[in-house]
């Protein structure tokens, strides 16, 4: 449902190769003598011009996935144990640290949840934007300043030439997130990873920031966005496709239209049911019972079996496969084989 009226650049799943290919990615964290997996064998593709949503509750492994793509997993204790991350065919896990630095902020940029703390408090906003430019491009200080002012103006910061000299604490939350976006996009990256970019903002600002991100993506040929969120309403407004994660595994992959029209995985159903609806008036919103288990206490069999409303015996013993049911749609659930849901 990506804003159809403005979108001149839609993803082409058939003819263009994916910008980013993640295959069987495993990220483990050392806890005492154990190496539990926060991300356990996830795979997905990101196509040019696409906005891909990664959805899940806290602790489902979505942020770890995004940090792994940037190779920013704190090591120790974390480690990318297995898998492959390819950027336009180039394996990111094999390149040197220096080569990876060229990718960060230049080809793949990232913005974070907390604009309050994500900027360095003792440097001016301008310095922090200019720093990104001067890290990746050999330009003069004046040139970098010009570019920074231009970029800050583009993200909707009024009087950018003056505000360039201000410190983050002099910016409001929304303005700071705009500055973060300016910092991320100033080198024209092909992929923007937005990790809960609007969670810390108030509702009106949220919409503005999302619109801004989409608008800037449209102006950039072939650029795509990975939007990490727990908010399905945000996904519905912005994304083309969605990856639903739970317990470090992909549970369902679908286009936004199909996912909202007919969710297949009980977890996705639960997430959708917990959205407020405009059609029926409910006193209380639905909640999925229980919490995401810690990675140290993942159940055997299906990871969701402890909280699933449609659980069957098999779920407790046998891990379901990720079934490809055509049209790029994938679901990890036994019910599909049992024919109950198929």
Site residues for another protein per CB under 8 A: 70, 72, 101-106, 109-110, 112, 114, 117-123, 131-132, 135-136, 167, 169, 180, 183
Give the residue with the Cβ less far from another protein, 102 or 337.
Answer: 102
Contacts of 252 (CB under 8 A, 6+ apart): 242, 243, 244, 259, 263, 264, 265, 267, 268, 330, 331, 332
Longest dimension (CA), the chain: 67
Give the residue with the Cβ less far from another protein, 118 or 259.
Answer: 118
**Closest approach of another protein to the CB of residue 177, in Å:** 12
Among residues 225, 274, 254, 272, which one has the least CA distance to residue 331? Answer: 254
Give the residue with the Cβ less far from another protein, 101 or 323.
Answer: 101
CA distance 331 to 325: 8
Give the residue with the Cβ less far from another protein, 110 or 212.
Answer: 110
**Closest approach of another protein to the CB of residue 305, in Å:** 34
Give the residue with the Cβ less far from another protein, 73 or 244.
Answer: 73
Give the residue with the Cβ less far from another protein, 176 or 240.
Answer: 176
**Closest approach of another protein to the CB of residue 136, in Å:** 6
Give the residue with the Cβ less far from another protein, 127 or 298.
Answer: 127
Give the residue with the Cβ less far from another protein, 166 or 310.
Answer: 166
Give the residue with the Cβ less far from another protein, 104 or 269.
Answer: 104
**Closest approach of another protein to the CB of residue 129, in Å:** 10
Q: What angle do CA 141, 146, 148 make, to 5 degrees?
A: 90
**Closest approach of another protein to the CB of residue 82, in Å:** 23
**Closest approach of another protein to the CB of residue 18, in Å:** 22
**Closest approach of another protein to the CB of residue 227, in Å:** 16
Mind spelling out the 3-state secondary structure of 137-203? Answer: CCCCHHHHHHHHHHHHHHCCCCCHHHHCCCCHHHCCHHHHHHHHHHHHHCCCCCEEEEECCCCCCCH
**Closest approach of another protein to the CB of residue 121, in Å:** 6
**Closest approach of another protein to the CB of residue 106, in Å:** 6
């Amino acid at each position: 449902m990506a804003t159809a009226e403005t979108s001149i650049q839609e993803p082409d799943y058939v003819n263009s190769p994916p910008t980013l290919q993640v295959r069987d990615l495993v990220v483990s964290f050392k806890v005492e003598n154990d190496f539990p997996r926060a991300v356990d064998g996830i795979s997905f593709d990101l196509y040019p011009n696409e906005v891909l949503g990664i959805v899940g509750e806290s602790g489902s492994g979505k942020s770890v996935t995004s940090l792994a793509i940037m190779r920013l997993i704190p090591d120790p204790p974390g480690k990318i144990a297995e898998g492959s991350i390819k950027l336009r065919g180039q394996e990111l896990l094999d390149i040197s640290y220096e080569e990876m630095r060229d990718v960060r902020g230049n080809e793949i940029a990232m913005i974070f949840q907390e604009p309050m703390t994500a900027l360095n408090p003792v440097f001016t906003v301008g310095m922090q934007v200019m720093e990104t430019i001067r890290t990746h491009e050999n330009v003069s200080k004046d040139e970098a300043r010009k570019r920074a002012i231009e970029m800050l103006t583009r993200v909707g910061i009024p009087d950018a030439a003056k505000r360039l000299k201000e410190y983050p604490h002099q910016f409001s939350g929304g303005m700071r997130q705009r500055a973060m976006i300016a910092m991320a996009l100033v080198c024209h990256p092909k992929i923007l990873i937005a990790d809960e970019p609007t969670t810390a903002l108030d509702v009106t600002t949220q919409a503005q920031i999302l619109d801004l991100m989409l608008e800037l993506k449209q102006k950039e040929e072939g650029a795509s966005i990975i939007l990490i969120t727990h908010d399905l309403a945000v996904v519905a407004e912005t994304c083309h496709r969605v990856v639903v994660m739970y317990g470090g595994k992909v549970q369902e992959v679908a286009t936004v239209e199909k996912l909202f029209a007919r969710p297949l995985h009980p977890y996705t159903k639960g997430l959708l049911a917990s959205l407020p609806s405009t059609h029926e008036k409910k006193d209380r919103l639905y909640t999925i019972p229980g919490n995401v288990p810690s990675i140290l206490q993942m159940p055997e069999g299906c990871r969701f079996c402890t909280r699933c409303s449609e659980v069957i015996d098999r779920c407790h013993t046998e891990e379901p496969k990720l079934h490809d049911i055509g049209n790029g749609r994938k679901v990890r659930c036994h019910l599909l084989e049992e024919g109950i849901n198929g």
